[in-house]
Amino acid sequence: AQKITQTQPGMFVQEKEAVTLDCTYDTSDPSYGLFWYKQPSSGEMIFLIYQGSYDQQNATEGRYSLNFQKARKSANLVISASQLGDSAMYFCAMRDGFTAGGTSYGKLTFGQGTILTVHP
């Protein structure tokens, strides 16, 4: 069974510094995708970044980058130049080979989350 592990219940960072949020995963499927979502106190899940298992390069989206180490099964999120508005819960999630009707449909398995607090 697929599993996502986030070992940091909480992280603190100073404004304008970089922070790394850890994520490890376990799957036997060779084709999978890894996602990071941000959940502010309002509750909505906001998509940040995606990495496919066959992607050769690490994904980047603005201040977010994903440090993908396939052999170690880790997909850490790096946030550069932290801002006060980055304070939120962050979830790592994985999509693996679930299919229905003959096509893969993107069912997500989430980790437990990491609460990030950015200090001024």
Query: What residues make contact with another protein under the rule CB under 8 A?
Result: 4, 33, 35, 37, 42-47, 50, 52, 91, 93, 95, 98, 100-101, 104-113
**Which is closer to another protein, CB of 18 or CB of 62?**
62
Residue 43 to residue 91: CA distance in whole angstroms? 12
Pairing between strand 74-79 and 64-69? antiparallel
Of 63 and 107, CB closest to another protein:
107
User: How many CA atoms, within 13 angstroms, populate the side-chain half-sphere of residue 86?
Assistant: 27
Q: To the nearest whole angstrom, how small is the minimum distance from the Cβ of residue 105 to another protein?
A: 6
Compute the distance between CA of residue 92 and CA of residue 70 in angstroms, rounded to an integer.
15
Nearest distance, CB of residue 90 and another protein, angstroms = 10
